[in-house]
């Protein structure tokens, strides 16, 4: 018989609640170490914003690609041991990625704002800050590190927080990408007046498994409303093959975010080129 006390801590699956619990501690510590004046100074010397959504819309590839710079994830452990953020970002750009997603969470993904900063000065395409945003100070820090867009996860924010954070992001001249993985959250986001980019996450927040049919399901349910509102839709998580890419494209998304399947390849530039130039039929 297994008693709860015999379960070792490292065997317990990570939950979204646990991530947020740690994120709250991280944010509290960040705020302790920071003054308003130093934040303002950092912001005023931040590199200018690049236009994330225009870069996606002007891509010659349909769907366009946001390639993700991510060293590891708690659910799939170390993805790329020879992780060099700038080298990876440069290869992605040469391959044809329109924008990059840079994971900045340290504890669960081994990312950091320093990755964002380093890439910003060396690679000339727009950058998304991929983190668990629960406080406006993270948005300010993302901007000062050179982010052009910030991810907001609908499942961890109230409607009021979503509205406030959107306002901060737009005030700083950036784009917001609002992530949803179910119809309830998609409908909440559609109620917001100024959502412009929505990302359908194919991932479950309970076991972090991915299923690209989530994209099809949500698109089938709200395709006309999304079109009418002129919202740019992204599909992310678990997109691995050219077939997966055309599957979500046929469901109606304009862009994909891909990380792990690219990062597993030795030659990243070639991996991106092969993916974007693969001739799978896409019917519209
Ligand atoms: O590596 P994948 O399966 O291509 O997925 C990328 C991205 O969607 C995933 O890393 C992700 C989804 N939501 C996040 C929030 C934070 C960090 C990372 C993520």
- Total tally of structural domains belonging to the chain: 1
Higher per-residue pLDDT: 212 or 12: 212
The pLDDT of residue 278 is 86
User: Average pLDDT for residues 206-225, to the nearest whole number?
Assistant: 96
> Above 0.85 for ipTM, yes or no?
yes
In a domain, 23, yes or no: no
**Domain interval for residue 147:** 52-277
Quick check: is 20 in a domain?
no
Distances 237 to 7, 52, 67 between C-alpha atoms, Å:
30, 20, 11
Residue 15 has pLDDT above 50, yes or no: yes
Q: Is the CB of 53 under 6 A from ligand 1?
A: no
Q: What stretch of H or E contains 180?
A: strand 175-180
Question: Is residue 14, in this structure, part of any structural domain at all?
Answer: no
Report if residue 1 sits inside a domain.
no
CATH code for the domain of 159: 3.20.20.70
Q: What local confidence, expressed as pLDDT, does residue 82 receive?
A: 85
Residue 10 placed within a domain: no
Q: Tell me which residue has its CA closest to atom 11 in ligand 1.
A: 237
User: Tens digit of pLDDT for each residue in 148-188?
Assistant: 999 999 999 999 999 999 999 999 999 999 999 999 999 99
For 47, the 3-state DSSP assignment is coil
Helix ranges (H only) for 46-134 are: 52-57, 85-95, 113-122
Q: How many whole angstroms from its chain centre is CA 137?
A: 18
Task: For residue 150, give the H/E element and its range.
Answer: strand 149-153
Distance 284 CA to ligand 1 centre (A): 27
* Cα 101 to Cα 122: distance, rounded to the nearest angstrom: 15
- 24 assigned to some structural domain: no
Determine the atom of ligand 1 nearest the C-alpha atom of 263. Answer: 1
* 257 close to ligand 1 (CB < 6 Angstrom): yes
- Average pLDDT taken over every residue of the chain: 93
What average pLDDT does the segment 39-61 reach?
A: 96
244 lines ligand 1 (CB under 6 A): no
Measured in whole angstroms, the distance separating CA 19 from the mean position of its chain's CA atoms is 16
CA-111 nearest atom, ligand 1: 17
Prior bond of 129 cis (ω within 30°): no
Residue 73 CA to residue 260 CA, distance in Å, equals 9
C-beta separation of 66 from 24 below 8 A? no
> Above 80 in pLDDT, residue 65?
yes
pLDDT in tens, 89-101: 999 999 999 999 9
**236 Cα to the center of ligand 1, angstroms:** 7
- The reply to whether 185 falls in a domain is yes
Does residue 262's CB lie within 6 angstroms of at least one atom of ligand 1? no
């Amino acid at each position: 018989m297994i008693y709860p006390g015999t379960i070792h801590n490292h065997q317990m699956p990570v939950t979204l609640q646990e991530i947020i619990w740690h994120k709250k501690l991280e944010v509290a510590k960040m705020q302790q170490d920071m003054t308003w004046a130093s934040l303002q100074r950092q912001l005023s010397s931040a590199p200018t914003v690049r236009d994330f959504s225009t870069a996606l819309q002007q891509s010659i590839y349909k769907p366009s690609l946001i390639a993700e710079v991510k060293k590891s994830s708690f659910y799939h452990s170390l993805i790329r041991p020879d992780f060099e953020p700038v080298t990876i970002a440069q290869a992605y750009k040469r391959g044809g990625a329109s924008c990059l997603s840079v994971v900045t969470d340290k504890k669960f993904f081994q990312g950091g704002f320093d990755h964002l900063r380093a890439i910003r000065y060396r690679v000339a395409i727009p950058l998304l800050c991929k983190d668990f945003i629960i406080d406006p100070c993270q948005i300010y820090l993302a901007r000062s590190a050179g982010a052009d867009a910030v991810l907001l996860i609908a499942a961890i924010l109230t409607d009021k927080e979503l509205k406030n954070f959107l306002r901060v992001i737009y005030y700083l001249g950036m784009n917001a990408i609002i992530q949803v993985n179910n119809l309830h959250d998609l409908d909440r986001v559609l109620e917001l007046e100024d959502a412009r980019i929505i990302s359908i996450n194919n991932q479950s927040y309970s076991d972090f498994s991915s299923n690209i049919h989530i994209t099809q399901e949500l698109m089938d349910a709200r395709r006309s409303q999304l079109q009418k509102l002129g919202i740019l839709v992204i599909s992310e998580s678990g997109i691995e093959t050219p077939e997966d890419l055309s599957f979500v494209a046929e469901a109606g998304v304009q862009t994909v975010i891909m990380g792990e399947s690219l990062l597993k390849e030795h030659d990243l530039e070639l991996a991106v080129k092969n993916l974007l130039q693969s001739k799978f039929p896409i019917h519209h």
